Amino acid sequence: MKPDPHPNPKPAPNPKSSSKPFSTPHSPNPHLSISPPSSFFSNIPLLTPSSFIFWNCNALRPRLEYSVPEIANMLATHDPDIVFLSEVRLTCASLHTQSSLSTIDQKSQAEKRLYASSFTTGPFSAYSQVALSLTTKRYAGTACFIKKSLLMTGSVNVSYCLPGTAPTTSSKPAANTPSIASFFGGATKKQKLDPHDPDGRLIMIECETIYIVHVYAPNNGKDQTSFDRRTAWDDKVRGFFKAVQRNGGVWEGKPVLFCGDLNVTPKPLEDLSHPSWFKMQFKSDVPGYSGQPGMTPNEVAAFDKLCCEGNLVDAYRHLHPHSGDACEDITRPLFTWRGTRGADTPEAGRYFRKAMRIDLLLVNKAHVEMIGECEITGEGECNKDPSFCGSDHCPVYCRLE
């Protein structure tokens, strides 16, 4: 979530990529491999994690340049088996290779070296499996890092779109066109292509007893194009979870956890630091869209509809019932996003000392007891607090029973 919406990139063809993961002989970390998607989960899955973290890192490169001590401390404190990142803002070379980092220019090559070091001596050295869903712009994008101890084989069952919601395009690549490039080296491997979200907004992994869907939902924005994009996203997500609910709250016999930066406050009076202030931020001529993106009446109604039709529970609020009063004390770990300081003085920042809870974990009511903990790790009055690890969002930690 950002105070102002992201630009709307032009829609792009959404190719397919699939097959088993492969290790890269050139990788500095011999255990590290990329997980291209499998065709809806034909391989042996991961062991079920005991814990995971999801975090909107607000661009991975600056986090690895300036926030390594904070990230390392966060990972050492919580020791998650899986780390999900959103808004990584990494680039792929084309929409035929959305699981691979671009090396198209010197900046991209330098970024790739930086990421490589983070898996050897850097903060992610305990993680040996990587799944990426990227786009060709430094925009959006998601990543998933998995500990080697979870691997039952050398492969991970991963997809980059929800079952039954594969994007359709007017120009489809041939079945065996190009290639997922290796994470660190120049090796390539011909594979069938699996659908990705055009902006790289979703990673779905299969574990032994559960599925985990991690997303970076589009910002609702302030214009009709943005409204329509968000509505289409919400309809797609709701359609999948309605299908899960019709199937007894499971998919392929397993519960589905849904997490990430959902870019919506479930209940504005509970999940905003200053509800009245946020409500007055923007006026729209379109009914139901006035207010700060993320808390407008139409967005909240769409979230309520998702939870109702999908029989989903907000895990954090289930474990931390609200007192009923708005809380302006943003130093407490009640909100996942903080406004930034102003350039000249902290108070000059429009959103300074303002906060929202928009990074969420949802689970079907039938399986809510499997969530042992769902904790907001960020404190402090703004994103400068070390618990935010340099981002404007803090990590959310989840432990499974």
Residue 254, token pair as written in the block:
């397993």
Segment 165-176 shows an average pLDDT of: 37
Q: Please tell me what DSSP assigns to residue 10.
A: P
Cα(54)–Cα(355) distance, integer angstroms = 18
**pLDDT above 60: residue 320:** yes
Looking at 198, 226, 250, which one is the last position of a domain? 198
127 and 171 together in one domain: yes
Higher pLDDT, 32 or 100: 100
181 and 240 together in one domain: no
Segment 238-251 shows an average pLDDT of: 95
* pLDDT tens-digit readout, 278-289: 999 999 999 999
- Write out the H or E segment, with its range, that includes residue 67: none
Domain assignment present for 210: no
Cα(37)–Cα(20) distance, integer angstroms = 7
pLDDT band for 31, please (50, 70, 90 cuts): very low
What is the structure's pLDDT at 180? 22
- Considering the chain, what percentage of its residues have pLDDT values greater than 70? 80
What is the structure's pLDDT at 85? 97
Active-site choice (78, 96, 196, 393): 393
Please provide the DSSP assignment of 367-385 as one string: GGGGEEEEEE---SSSTTS
Domain assignment present for 124: yes
161 and 233 together in one domain: no
Cα(391)–Cα(340) distance, integer angstroms = 10
Domain assignment present for 370: no
53 and 188 together in one domain: yes
Residue 192, token pair as written in the block:
């069938």
Lowest mean pLDDT, pick from 25-29, 328-332, 391-395: 25-29
Higher pLDDT, 31 or 349: 349
What is the structure's pLDDT at 373? 98
Nearest residue to 5 via CA among 230, 181, 193, 169: 230
**Which domain CATH number covers 310?**
3.60.10.10
Domains contained in the chain, number: 2
Looking at 198, 232, 264, which one is the last position of a domain? 198
Q: Is 98 within 8 Å of 199 (Cβ atoms)?
A: no
Nearest residue to 267 via CA among 294, 228, 227: 294
Domain assignment present for 203: no
By residue range, what is the domain housing residue 180? Answer: 11-198
pLDDT band for 21, please (50, 70, 90 cuts): very low
Cα(66)–Cα(81) distance, integer angstroms = 24
50 and 190 together in one domain: yes
- Considering the chain, what percentage of its residues have pLDDT values greater than 90? 57
> Annotated catalytic, 320?
no
Higher pLDDT, 105 or 247: 247
**pLDDT above 50: residue 44:** yes
Segment 118-125 shows an average pLDDT of: 88
Lowest mean pLDDT, pick from 41-55, 162-176, 180-194, 294-308: 180-194
Segment 301-307 shows an average pLDDT of: 98
| Selection from 132-136, 213-217, 383-387 with the highest mean pLDDT | 213-217
Residue 177, token pair as written in the block:
């066109």
41 and 180 together in one domain: yes
Segment 197-215 shows an average pLDDT of: 94
46 and 163 together in one domain: yes
**pLDDT above 50: residue 189:** no
Domain assignment present for 209: no
Domain assignment present for 374: no
Segment 286-294 shows an average pLDDT of: 95
111 and 165 together in one domain: yes
**pLDDT above 90: residue 325:** no
Looking at 142, 165, 198, which one is the last position of a domain? 198
Nearest residue to 29 via CA among 190, 153, 183, 181: 183
43 and 191 together in one domain: yes
What is the structure's pLDDT at 329? 79
Q: Is 222 within 8 Å of 211 (Cβ atoms)?
A: no
Segment 221-235 shows an average pLDDT of: 95
What is the structure's pLDDT at 119? 86
- Give the angle subtended at the CA of 59 by the CAs of 165 and 206, to the nearest 5°: 40
The shares of helix, strand and coil residues in the chain, as percent rounded to the nearest 5, are 25, 20, 55
What is the structure's pLDDT at 244? 96
pLDDT band for 2, please (50, 70, 90 cuts): low
Mean pLDDT of the chain: 82
60 and 154 together in one domain: yes
Q: Is 188 within 8 Å of 130 (Cβ atoms)?
A: no
What is the structure's pLDDT at 285? 94
Domain assignment present for 276: yes
269 and 182 together in one domain: no
Domain assignment present for 349: yes
187 and 317 together in one domain: no
Higher pLDDT, 368 or 111: 368
* pLDDT tens-digit readout, 59-104: 999 999 999 999 999 999 999 999 999 999 998 877 778 888 888 8
